[in-house]
Amino acid sequence: MIAWTATGLLASTILAGCASAPVEHVPPQVIGVAVKDTPPADLLTCPVPAAPFPTDQEAVIPWAVRDRLKGLAISYRDLFDRQERLINWIAPGSCGKDKQ
C-alpha cells in the first residue's frame, strides 16, 4: 500500500514538472509557387457578345420553344461571364466594361 502511494506521489511530481516545461511555438510556413503555365492566346481573347434580337419586329413563339430559348440565353450569359472572369483572373484588366 505504501509502495502504491509512493509511486503515485513520484509520478505526480514528474508529470507536474513536464506540464510546466515551456513549449516553443513554430508558426506555419507559407509556401507560394509561381505558375509558369499560361493558357494559349486564343483562350485569353475576350468574348464578343452576340447581337440582340431586333426590336422592330414581332414573332409568335410557342411556350415550349420560348422556355428553351430562355434557357439557352441564360446558359450563354453564364458561360460568357465565366469566361470573362477567368480571363480577368489570369490577366487582370484584359476584359471588362472599360475595354468594350
What pLDDT, in 10s, does the model give residues 8-52?
Answer: 665 666 665 555 667 788 888 888 777 677 778 888 888 888 888
Distance of alpha carbon 94 from alpha carbon 39, whole angstroms: 14
What is the predicted pLDDT for the residue at 69?
Answer: 92
pTM of the model: 0.51
pLDDT value at position 100? 44
User: Is pLDDT of 97 > 90?
Assistant: no
Domain ranges of the chain: 62-93
DSSP state of 77: H
CA separation for the pair 90, 20 (Å, rounded)? 51
| Mean pLDDT, the chain, whole residue set | 79
What H or E segment, with its residue span, contains residue 11?
helix 2-19
* pLDDT for 64: 93
How many residues are recorded in the chain?
100
